[in-house]
Structure 1
Amino acid sequence: MEFKEVLEQRRSVKSYEPYELDKETINNLLDQAALSPSAWNLQQWKVIVAQSDEAKEKLYQASNKQIKVKEASATFIILGDLKAHETIEDVADDWIEHNHIPADKKDGLISSVNTFFESTTNQRDEAVRGASLFAMSLMLASENAGFATCPMIGFNKQAVIDEFNIEDHLVPAMLITIGKGEMTNDRASRIPAETFAKFE
């Protein structure tokens, strides 16, 4: 599919038909989404794939009983990692291996990243930002593969944390349902670039 088609056809689908997604397909979509950019390549995203009946029931209760959570083949719980910067030494080694930086710049890179992430605001902003970039890529990859998705913010964050034993350093950014379905009504209007973009 042409990329323009992917963008034009992707819709937030809220009704799904029965369809079983296998683990290999899901992992392939996640691998594609993992090509998303992130600050210092920290890859702040973590994902829980809620696919079993038990997991779907938990999410159904935690998401104001929205039926699409039960109907979808699976729901991705997209998490941002507040501690992703703690992997910076591994990232630095990888950069050196791939000739992104010379070896003598490693300590400076690590110091800069650790200084930036002393701020809890920066930790949270980057966790949510990285997770959100990943989430959009995941929806586009899914659309390209013939699957419908819907991003969700209408859920009880604490209930999701409790039900899925999510660690304190992981922040639920959104849920994304995935499966087979389509949106048949016309797309709502989009604001043209000339009304929201300013050139200077």
Structure 2
Amino acid sequence: MELTKVLENRRSVKSYEQYHLDRETIYNLLDKAALSPSAWNLQQWKVIVVDTDESKEKLYHAANKQIKIKEASATFIILGDLNAHETIGDVADDWIEHEHIPAEKREGLIETVNRFFESETNKRDEAVRGASLFAMSLMLVSEDAGYATCPMIGFDKQSVIDAFNIEDNFIPAMLMTIGKGEMTNERASRLPASSFAKFE
């Protein structure tokens, strides 16, 4: 499907059919979404895939008992990694191997990244930003593959952390259901670009 059609067709679907989404398909969707951009290619996103009845039950209670958690084939808990910058040495080596930077630039790159992430604000902003870019890509590749999704912020962050033993360096950015379903209501109106864009 061409990108414009994907954007036009994507809707936040809140009611799902009984449908089994196999893990190979899920991995394929996640691999495509991982082409998302991230600062210094740190790829701050991590994902917990909730697709068993037991895990759905836990997430259902942590997400204000929203029934779509149980109905959907799976729900992604999309996390941002506050410590993703600690992989910059591996990123630098990969860039050198692919001739993106010369080897003599390695230490300077590592120093620049580590200095930027001394700020707790930068850590949090980049974790959420990277996870959100990944999430949008995941919604689009899922739509392109014929699956419905719905991003969710209606959950108790600490309950999700506790229920799934999420480590301190990960921030739950959002949940996202996926499965088979459709939205039949007319799309809500969107503001025109002229109302939110400013040229200078």
TM-score normalised by structure 1 residue count: 1.00
Aligned to 2:105: 105
Residue 93 of structure 1 aligns with an amino acid whose one-letter code is D
- Match of 2:80, SS? strand
Residue 93 of structure 2 aligns with an amino acid whose one-letter code is D
Residue 129 of structure 1 aligns with an amino acid whose one-letter code is R
TM-score normalised by structure 2 residue count: 1.00
- Match of 1:80, SS? strand
Rounded Cα–Cα distance in structure 1 between residues aligned with 2:177 and 2:13:
8
Aligned to 1:145: 145
Rounded Cα–Cα distance in structure 2 between residues aligned with 1:100 and 1:53:
45
Rounded Cα–Cα distance in structure 1 between residues aligned with 2:108 and 2:89:
11
Q: How far 1:5 sits from its partner (Å)?
A: 0.5
Q: Describe how 1:171-186 pairs up with structure 2 within 5 A.
A: 171-186=171-186
Rounded Cα–Cα distance in structure 2 between residues aligned with 1:30 and 1:188:
28
Matched, 1:47 2:62: no
Aligned to 1:116: 116
Rounded Cα–Cα distance in structure 2 between residues aligned with 1:19 and 1:153:
24
Rounded Cα–Cα distance in structure 1 between residues aligned with 2:59 and 2:184:
26
Residue 157 of structure 1 aligns with an amino acid whose one-letter code is K
Rounded Cα–Cα distance in structure 1 between residues aligned with 2:34 and 2:113:
21
Aligned to 1:71: 71
Rounded Cα–Cα distance in structure 1 between residues aligned with 2:90 and 2:12:
37
Residue 19 of structure 2 aligns with an amino acid whose one-letter code is Y
Rounded Cα–Cα distance in structure 1 between residues aligned with 2:7 and 2:55:
30
- Match of 2:174, SS? strand
Write the deviation string for residues 5-41 of structure 1: whole angstroms up to 9, x where unpaired.
0000000000000000001000000000000000000
Q: How far 1:195 sits from its partner (Å)?
A: 0.8
Q: Which runs of 5+ in 1 are unaligned?
A: none
Q: How far 1:128 sits from its partner (Å)?
A: 0.3
- Count of aligned positions: 200
Q: Structure 1 stretches (4+) deviating beyond 4 angstroms?
A: none
Q: How far 1:99 sits from its partner (Å)?
A: 1.0
Q: How far 1:2 sits from its partner (Å)?
A: 1.0
Aligned to 2:11: 11
Rounded Cα–Cα distance in structure 1 between residues aligned with 2:165 and 2:109:
33
Rounded Cα–Cα distance in structure 1 between residues aligned with 2:38 and 2:186:
34
- Match of 2:167, SS? coil
Q: Which runs of 5+ in 2 are unaligned?
A: none
- Match of 1:13, SS? coil
Write the deviation string for residues 37-62 of structure 1: whole angstroms up to 9, x where unpaired.
00000000000000000110011101
Residue 87 of structure 2 aligns with an amino acid whose one-letter code is T
Write the deviation string for residues 108-128 of structure 1: whole angstroms up to 9, x where unpaired.
000000000000110000000
Q: Describe how 1:163-178 pairs up with structure 2 within 5 A.
A: 163-178=163-178
Residue 67 of structure 1 aligns with an amino acid whose one-letter code is I
- Match of 2:181, SS? coil
Write the deviation string for residues 55-95 of structure 1: whole angstroms up to 9, x where unpaired.
10011101110000000000000000000000000000001
- Match of 1:17, SS? coil
Aligned to 1:190: 190
Rounded Cα–Cα distance in structure 2 between residues aligned with 1:187 and 1:48:
30
Residue 107 of structure 2 aligns with an amino acid whose one-letter code is D
Aligned to 2:94: 94
